[in-house]
Chain A
Amino acid sequence: MATETIPPAAVPVDERVRQKSRLSKLLSRPEVGALAAVVIVWVLFALVASKHNFVSWATTASILNRAAPLGILAVAVALLMIAGEFDLSVGSILGFSGMVIMVLVTPQTGGGYGWALWPAVGVALLFAFITGMFNGALVIATKLPSFIVTLGTLFAFRGLTIAVTRLLTHRTQLGQLDSVSGYGLAKSIFASNATLFGSQFSIAILWWIGLTALATWILLRTRVGNWIFGTGGAVDAARNVGVPTRRVKIVLFMTTAFAAWLVAVIQAVQFTGSDTLRGTGQEFQAIIAAVVGGCLLTGGYGSAIGAALGALIFALVQQGIVITGVDGDWFQVFIGGILLGAVIFNNFIRRRAALR
């Protein structure tokens, strides 16, 4: 056989490989732009708002508490974006999940069903999975861009939430979750606070960090992670080598729905109630966080850590604006500028990394 004439593979050094410096290796990671942005924004506010105690544990705690729910959504949205699809309906699924819980636990006299909290949370999760599966199945069956399909379900799920809640309870806000049986345990799992350095850190931060770590591990160190990159990078090529691309997409749509459900539970328990409009606009913030974190809009590239950092930037800017006393109207200008800046920066870095 001709192969036997070829010398063994042990060629440790290839003279055509230029030793890339540590720095340029670091710069080719997708989340590097978001990391740079976090540092820049933090330093900026640390300088501008130094007399307002920006650099303090109390401010850090409230930044992280703000970042956590958005971060949970952004990480799931990033996974889906890497697989080449959008989910604009996460905000609506968030509102929907919260109201499913609240309607189920509201006493029958109030138009609800009088359930205990945990069964309601379980049923809400089931509904969330169904909505995610519905999104995914619709995208695959119609072959339409998921942007359009989930733009439709964004309105449909929100409308359904408002209509059904009003039909049953004649209200758009339901409360008093703390009087429902099972609340104590839920409070400690989803909405308890830990006092560190004299400041209140919410447990949602742990959920956020945990999910980011899990998502990163899945992306970089499991078969499914390889499938996610492949599905987003070139769906036909991936299918041709046997990647179950449809299943990957449907599971990821269910993952974004799961994240929306988790945030809905955290917030319902934290605020002891929910509102039919909860989560409005969150889908765009989550997508912005993912894009700032290095996800390509066309799929196949991105990182969960980057998305988590993107959410952190949101919270930094929000908190910084509040603390410096700048008119809150400027928040959106800031976020828009950061989005554009990050995308341009990411493009620049990626081109450099690819060309070496």
Chain B
Amino acid sequence: MSGNGKALLDVREISKYFGSVIALKDVSMRCEAGQVTCLLGDNGAGKSTLIKTLSGVYRPDEGEYLFDGKPREFGSPREALELGIATVYQDLAMIPLMSIWRNFFLGSEPTRGWGPFRRYDVRFAKSKTREELSRMGIDIRDPEQAVGTLSGGERQSVAIARAVYFGAKVLILDEPTAALGVKQAGVVLRYIVQARQRGVGVIFITHNPHHGYPVGDHYVILRRGRVYGDYTKEDLGLERLVQMMAGGEELENLAHELEHAAGKAEGETSDELARAAQTLEQEAKEAKEPGH
């Protein structure tokens, strides 16, 4: 599982600027078939810019974008999609007012007939939607149901099943587990593993090391628009990852600051601040030494 296999998607030292803002600087990462690359980073680290660059929304200002070993430049997400780079966005994956089967085939509708009589093959779309979802182990009630009536986990799962069905070679998942409960997140993680087993290269963006670690093969950590670290699973235990992600050092610093403030302040407020500081210190400790 080391990085010497042939990379399906390989970006080298790409940079992206918005006016005077440096959104990405010299970012390199790769994703191989049948592997999960976890992309980790805090808010503002440049994750969304990187995702949008990988999925063809933005063009990098500098650097190289290789797919299947060939340099590429995408004018639109459609071009990336045609090569097999599919992106599932957190909130923007599905259209709530449309039925599941209409959503499943949106943008790639199967057709029947010829010329002006070419029409949407509705029967095929409905039965295929049901079939593909149950192949991924997703049990939907009724393909006519509006997507807006599904839960968040179900929506993400349908979006992943759709991307896999349409022959995604690389699947970019933008925080698919972020707004989900424990059980629902588990469901989504199972589909990520399924996609990997089918030979899809997955780029999994997450905040949560407990979601990222078990499914990931290697981990890219972004900070302030740069790659802060690139590790394989062997390099990095869950503890290290949790610590990096939870920002253990920062929590500790914050605890000290608050303690200091509590010492200066008086009366009730000082008690409250002291308690807050204690809690934070505890959290920082837990983040450093997990094992539970």
Contact = CB atoms under 8 A, between A and B. Distances in A.
B111 A237 contact: no
A9 B98 CA distance: 23
Contact of B194 (A2, A222, A226, A243): A2
B77 A226 contact: no
11 contacts: A1-B197, A1-B198, A6-B134, A16-B141, A221-B119, A226-B120, A236-B92, A238-B106, A242-B108, A301-B97, A354-B146
B95 interface: yes
**4 A-B pairs with least C-beta separation:** A233-B95, A242-B107, A241-B107, A223-B109
B94 A237 contact: yes
Contacts of A6: 134-135, 137
Nearest to B122: A221
A225 B120 contact: yes
Contacts of A229: 95, 97-98, 102
Interface string B65-94: 000000000000110010000010100111
Given A1-B197, A14-B141, A237 B77 contact: no
A300 B118 contact: no
B97 A300 contact: yes
Interface string A236-248: 1111111110000
Given A221-B120, A226-B105, A237 B92 contact: yes
A11 interface: yes
A17 interface: yes
A300 B98 contact: yes
Contacts of A226: 102, 105-106, 109, 120
Contacts of A11: 134, 139
A238 B106 CA distance: 7
A240 B92 contact: yes
Contacts of A8: 134
B167 interface: no
A237 B93 contact: yes
Interface in B133-149: 134-137, 139, 141-142, 146, 148-149
A318 B224 CA distance: 65
A45 to B, nearest CB: 35
Contacts of B126: none
B78 A242 contact: yes
Contacts of B94: 234, 237
B130 interface: yes
B106 A3 contact: no
A237 B95 contact: yes
A192 B17 CA distance: 63
A311 B289 CA distance: 70
B96 interface: yes
Interface in A299-352: 300-301
Contact of B95 (A9, A17, A238, A296): A238
B168 to A, nearest CB: 12
Interface of B: 55, 77-78, 81, 87, 89, 92-98, 102, 105-109, 111, 118-120, 122, 130-131, 134-137, 139, 141-142, 146, 148-149, 193-194, 197-198
A233 B107 CA distance: 13
A95 interface: no
A233 B111 contact: no
A223 B116 CA distance: 12
Instruction: Identify which of A2, A9, A17, A226 gathers the most chain B CB atoms within 10 Å of its CB.
Output: A226
A136 interface: no
Given A8-B134, A241-B107, 11 more contacts: A2-B197, A3-B198, A6-B134, A223-B120, A227-B107, A230-B98, A233-B95, A234-B96, A237-B89, A239-B77, A240-B93
Contacts of B197: 1-3
A223 B111 CA distance: 8
Contacts of A230: 95, 98, 102, 106-107
Contact of A3 (B55, B78, B97, B194): B194
Given A221-B122, A223-B120, A3 B136 contact: yes
Contacts of A238: 95, 106-107
A233 B77 contact: no
Contacts of B96: 233-234
Instruction: Identify which of A237, A239, A296, A354 gathers the most chain B CB atoms within 10 Å of its CB.
Output: A237
A242 B77 CA distance: 7
B97 to A, nearest CB: 4
Contacts of B193: 2
B105 A9 contact: no
Contacts of B137: 3, 6
B102 A9 contact: no
